[in-house]
Structure 1
Amino acid sequence: MPKVPTEKRSEKKSGWGNGQLFGSEANENTFQGGGFKDKEKALETIRLLDGKDITYQYQIINSMYNRAKVILKRTTDKEKRTNLSEAIDTFETWVDDYKKNQRQKENFGYINLEVMEGCKPLAEKYGLKDLKFLEVYQEADGDLKKLRTKKVEGKDITWDVERNNRLKVLSKKIKEELLPLYETDEPYKGLPSKEHLEMILLAYSGDQSKVKKCIPLIEEKCK
Structure 2
Amino acid sequence: MGSEDNNSGESKFGFKDKEKAEETLQLLESHDMQYRKLTVRGLLGRAKRVLSMTKAADKVKNINEAIEVFEKWLEENGGGAANKNAKTDGDDKVETVPGLGFKDKEAAERTLKILEGRDPEYQKLAVKGLIGSSKRVLSGTKNEDKIKAIKEGVQILEDFLEKFERDNLIRLNKAYLQYSIISKLPEPNDELAAEFLSAYSGEKAKGNYKHLRTMYPKDDDETSWDIIRNKNVNELCEEMKKDDLKLFKENGEPSDIHLKLIHWAYSPQPDKLKKYIETLSTKAEKRKSAADSSDSDGGEVKKQRIESDD
Q: Helix, strand or coil for the counterpart of 1:120? A: coil
Distance in 2, Cα, partners of 1:72 & 1:39: 15
Please point out which of 167, 170, 187 is paired with 1:101.
167
Partners of 2:231 and 2:106 in 1: CA distance? 26
Query: Which segment drifts farther, 131-140 or 64-73?
Result: 64-73
Q: What is the distance in 2 between the residues matched to 1:55 and 1:78? A: 34
Cα-to-partner distance string for 1:128-172 (whole Å, 9 max, x where unaligned): 665222222111221112211111222221111110010010011
Is 1:191 the counterpart of 2:253? The answer is yes
Question: What does residue 214 of structure 1 align with?
Answer: 276
Query: Whose helix proportion is higher, 1 or 2?
Result: 2
Aligned to 2:215: 150
After TM superposition, the runs of 4+ consecutive aligned structure 1 residues lying more than 6 A away are 1-4
> Contact 1:37/1:84 (CA < 8 Å) preserved in 2?
yes
Which residue identity lines up with residue 156 of structure 2 in the other structure? T
TM normalised by structure 2 equals 0.57
Mapped pair 1:66 → 2:132: yes
* Cα-Cα RMSD: 2.5
The structure 2 residue matched to 1:165, chosen from 231, 251, 263, is 231
Identity %: 28
Residue of structure 2 equivalent to 1:50: 116
Aligned length: 192
Equivalent of residue 201 in structure 2, options 115, 133, 138: 138
* Cα distance in 1 for residues equivalent to 2:207 and 2:149: 40
Secondary structure, aligned partner of 2:183 = helix
Partner of residue 266, structure 2: 204
Consecutive unaligned residues in structure 1, runs of 5 or more: 5-26
**Larger RCO, structure (CA 8 Å, separation 6 or more):** 1
1:213 is displaced (CA, Å) by 1.8
Larger Rg: 2
Are the counterparts in 1 of residues 182 and 262 from structure 2 also a CA contact under 8 Å?
A: yes
- In structure 2, what is the equivalent of residue 10 of structure 1? none
Cα contact 1:119–1:218 (8 A) shared by 2: no
Q: Does the Cα contact within 8 Å between 2:196 and 2:217 map onto a contact in 1?
A: no
**Partner Cα separation in structure 2 for residue 117 and residue 175 of structure 1:** 26
Return the alpha-carbon distance in structure 2 between the equivalents of residues 36 and 216 of structure 1. 47
